[in-house]
Structure 1
């Protein structure tokens, strides 16, 4: 497939950003799949490499698949290199995330990377979500383009979670930072979580609000996970001590690790990434949230980029002189099941 000039420009720009944030190198020991993970569902669709360092999860007409950490973690670095399915992937959802929803059904915490498939020739989109204490009705979602083809080779996606900060990384470039504040209250994730990786059929909502479904003539859809990292405080369920008491020493190690610090260089790299690749932010979604969230930092330059729906505003096409006025079509309504993503698709780009 030929590389467009836009893609070349994006790759060059991302290379510059990577160079700026090079100090973020994690330098953390990777683990084998069977050391820390277990099949979650669709075990026949989970394929391990001979050395146990790479696992492939599949979606076909029979089932999706996924795996789960064998332990609960309280703060740390959670990371994987992921290669996404190529070609027609509309409706396909790949997720790498943390959650305690199976334990705290009504007030769960969650931190997500979600990858949303697309039509032929259209790029995957990536979304980050932050939910604390069951705050899905106050979803803190953001969506981005990627400056590279995530189906050509694996790229690293990482979540850093501490008592004060959450940082999402793509290839060691920070793309989002959430700083805990008193105003957030219980919306900041604060309970131990499990780590998940899944691939599944999100036809009802994932691509253009459910307009485009999974087409199983292109199955199986396969996503590779490698270079697995779980660096955090692993909780002992037998101990009756609270998480913060069990994790005191590990908390100190995590706090001083380079990946937990937002340096000036990394902050500049993050702002550059967000300027170029962020296409939706809950902070600018006035229709869903008339009142701005206390943890939102509204940047005037950024605000001009987004419409009242929080999506990037596409420039309108100039109308020819003498042409009749263009009537806007009312977007179709889709009956969508409840999911982690509850973003309007009326301004999809």
Structure 2
């Protein structure tokens, strides 16, 4: 009982204060990065405001962007503000994906699944290794992600994959490939992508509730276009270098406070976990 109380107090502290800052110290007076320094429009409707872009979904198309480089490790983040109101069927994303984007890809996903008025957006996370996914976890956030911008982060290094909402970890995967036979972990260099698109066939109520085009257009905002990553075109040992800050000792395991916050999120906010019905090897080590 005492351990549960401590865990909830730590979770409350992280949610209220944002916890310890994750990432390198910000340079004093540094200007926010412009979109076109590290990213390019990929398809559809994108409005570039310099340090902020809007992706727009209407009945004709959605929109997406991608990073100019692929990365072999890093601590990636985007600030996002989701479409508001009735957003059933609307899917808004931030993800990493290897090239080519085929049945051999590695991938790490934040997917925000819209819903009807008054029903919270579902955040679905997933990861693929060699084209194999089926590792979905879903949760309802403790805030309205359409009311303002929040940070969504992916720490991916040779030791672990951790996904954060602001400073709170919501998914933790250890890299045990060298010690557990058959263990799978993303290792291929990946692009950073963002997108908004029509997911009416599956995103809300299993596809029973579709996009209401009378509510269109749906607009998602993105900020935070600086990138902390090891740019590379192919797998290379240098992306595992301990000289890269995101591979340092402080990023090889989550802290006790982060573990408590993560366990609190799982207990209170998670609505679906593939590990409850899966025999995938990594489920034994979460």
Q: TM-score, normalised by structure 2?
A: 0.87
CA distance in 2 between counterparts of 1:251 and 1:278 reads 35
Greater relative contact order, per chain length (Cα 8 Å cut-off, separation 6+): 2
Alpha-carbon distance change, 191 to 41 in structure 1, aligned in 2, over 3 angstroms:
same
Do residues 63 (structure 1) and 61 (structure 2) align? yes
CA distance in 1 between counterparts of 2:130 and 2:237 reads 21
Do residues 256 (structure 1) and 243 (structure 2) align? no
1:212 to 184, 209, 212: 209
For residue 187 of structure 1, report the CA deviation from its aligned partner.
Answer: 2.7
For residue 256 of structure 1, report the CA deviation from its aligned partner.
Answer: 1.4
2:22 to 20, 25, 36: 25
Alpha-carbon distance change, 19 to 264 in structure 1, aligned in 2, over 3 angstroms:
farther
1:165 to 149, 160, 169: 160
For residue 253 of structure 1, report the CA deviation from its aligned partner.
Answer: 2.5
Query: Do the aligned residues in 1 keep the contact of 2:52 with 2:223 (CA within 8 Å)?
Result: yes
CA distance in 2 between counterparts of 1:167 and 1:284 reads 20
Local SS of the residue matching 1:75: strand
1:69-97 deviation line (CA, Å, top 9, x unaligned): 01010110110111001111000000100
Alignment of structure 1 residues 88-103 onto 2, 5 Å = 88-100=86-98, 102-103=99-100
Query: Do the aligned residues in 1 keep the contact of 2:182 with 2:281 (CA within 8 Å)?
Result: no
Which residue of structure 2 aligns with residue 317 of structure 1? none
CA distance in 2 between counterparts of 1:233 and 1:173 reads 24
Query: Do the aligned residues in 2 keep the contact of 1:14 with 1:147 (CA within 8 Å)?
Result: no
Local SS of the residue matching 1:31: coil
1:24-64 deviation line (CA, Å, top 9, x unaligned): 4334555321001011111xx21122xx1111100011110
CA distance in 2 between counterparts of 1:257 and 1:119 reads 44
Q: How many residues align?
A: 271
1:158-214 deviation line (CA, Å, top 9, x unaligned): 011111200000011111100022346363111100010000000000000111111
1:247 to 239, 264, 271: 239
Do residues 271 (structure 1) and 256 (structure 2) align? no
For residue 229 of structure 1, report the CA deviation from its aligned partner.
Answer: 3.7
CA distance in 2 between counterparts of 1:200 and 1:140 reads 21
CA distance in 2 between counterparts of 1:53 and 1:184 reads 45
Bigger mean CA offset, 176-185 vs 112-121:
176-185
Query: Do the aligned residues in 2 keep the contact of 1:17 with 1:273 (CA within 8 Å)?
Result: no
Between structure 1 and structure 2, the one with the greater Rg is: 1
Which residue of structure 2 aligns with residue 176 of structure 1? 171
1:191 to 188, 198, 202: 188
Alpha-carbon distance change, 151 to 257 in structure 1, aligned in 2, over 3 angstroms:
farther
CA distance in 2 between counterparts of 1:246 and 1:93 reads 35
Do residues 281 (structure 1) and 273 (structure 2) align? yes
Bigger mean CA offset, 150-159 vs 181-190:
181-190
C-alpha RMSD of matched pairs (Å)? 2.3
For residue 249 of structure 1, report the CA deviation from its aligned partner.
Answer: 4.1
Which residue of structure 2 aligns with residue 302 of structure 1? none
Bigger strand fraction = 2
Bigger mean CA offset, 221-230 vs 115-124:
221-230
Q: Which runs of 5+ in 2 are unaligned?
A: 1-8, 27-31
Which residue of structure 2 aligns with residue 341 of structure 1? none
Local SS of the residue matching 1:274: helix
CA distance in 2 between counterparts of 1:228 and 1:267 reads 28
